[in-house]
């Protein structure tokens, strides 16, 4: 059971994630209404350090941005499209969370090349609230620790967990009262629903 709340933009969201006892929070450094700069993310994450994982979320970043994120924010984990890691110079000790999007074939096919130990399976476009292919996700979840993202909220996360049997779940727009504005109540509801569903399925 692993729960991540992504797209932190203010102190209330971070406090709500801590109160909900989730496992990780994400800070977006890619173009988005949730985008923050590394110094701002470092300030927001200060009270969460050591209590949950602080994840830097990027997509096709330039090396200069990654260097700034590492220097200013010092993430516990770097999340980005799987192919991005082939182009970047990264510290060996940095934990990575590769992203695979729904509809990306090849690596997602059963029996294809070896998968990373853990990956995040996303909807077709990040941050839009669109669900991914749960059938494809279930196939992947049999072969790796899969974190399911894309279009999840407190109303559908139990069904998603029952169908996919993921290692974890990740939510962003599904716990917002407006684009980029997290709702503490929705964070609490999502975490409670996800935790109950994981316990129900024995995940």
| Counted domains in the chain | 1
Query: Each residue of 98-155: pLDDT tens digit?
Result: 999 887 644 444 445 578 999 999 976 665 567 788 999 999 999 999 999 999 999 9
Residues whose CB falls within 8 Å of the CB of residue 46, separated by 6 or more in sequence, listed in order? none
pLDDT of residue 125: 65
Return all residues near 36 (Cβ < 8 A) that are at least 6 apart: 8, 9, 27, 28, 29, 44
d(CA 38, CA 70): 8
The pLDDT of residue 107: 46
Look at the alpha carbons of 82, 83, 88, 91 in this order and tell me if their dihedral is positive or negative.
Answer: positive
Strands 176-178 and 181-182, bridge-based pairing: antiparallel
Q: Which residue range is the domain that position 67 belongs to?
A: 3-201
Q: What pLDDT score was predicted for residue 108?
A: 45
pLDDT in tens, the chain (203 residues): 899 999 999 999 999 999 999 999 999 999 999 999 999 999 999 999 999 999 999 999 999 999 999 999 999 999 999 999 999 999 999 999 999 988 764 444 444 557 899 999 997 666 556 778 899 999 999 999 999 999 999 999 999 999 999 999 999 999 999 999 999 999 999 999 999 999 998 76
Is the separation of the CB atoms in 117 and 144 below 8 Å? Answer: yes
Which pair of structure tokens corresponds to residue 161? 């967990």
Quick one: tokens of 52? 């949950």
Query: Can you give the pLDDT at residue 202?
Result: 76
Q: Give phi and psi for 34, each to the nearest 5.
A: -100, 5
CATH number for the domain harbouring residue 121: 3.20.20.70
Q: Is 197 left (phi over 0), alpha (psi -120 to 50) or beta?
A: alpha
């Amino acid at each position: 059971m692993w729960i991540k709340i992504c797209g932190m933009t203010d102190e209330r969201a971070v406090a709500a994630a801590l109160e909900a006892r989730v496992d990780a929070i994400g800070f977006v450094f890619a173009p988005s209404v949730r985008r923050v700069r590394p110094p701002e993310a470092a300030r927001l994450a200060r009270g969460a350090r050591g209590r949950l994982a602080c994840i830097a979320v990027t997509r096709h970043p330039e090396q200069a941005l990654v260097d700034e994120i590492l220097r200013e924010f010092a993430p516990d984990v770097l999340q980005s499209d799987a192919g991005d890691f082939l182009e970047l110079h990264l510290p060996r000790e940095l934990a990575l969370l590769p992203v695979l999007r729904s509809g990306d074939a090849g690596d997602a096919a059963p029996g294809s090349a070896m998968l990373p130990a853990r990956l995040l399976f996303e909807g077709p476009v990040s941050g839009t609230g669109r669900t991914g292919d749960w059938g494809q996700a279930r196939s992947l979840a049999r072969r790796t620790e899969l974190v399911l993202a894309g279009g999840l909220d407190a109303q559908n996360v139990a069904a998603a967990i029952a169908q996919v049997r993921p290692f974890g779940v990740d939510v962003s727009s599904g716990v917002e009262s407006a684009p980029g504005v997290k709702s503490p109540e929705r964070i609490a509801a999502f975490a409670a629903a996800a935790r109950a569903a994981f316990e129900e399925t024995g995940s």
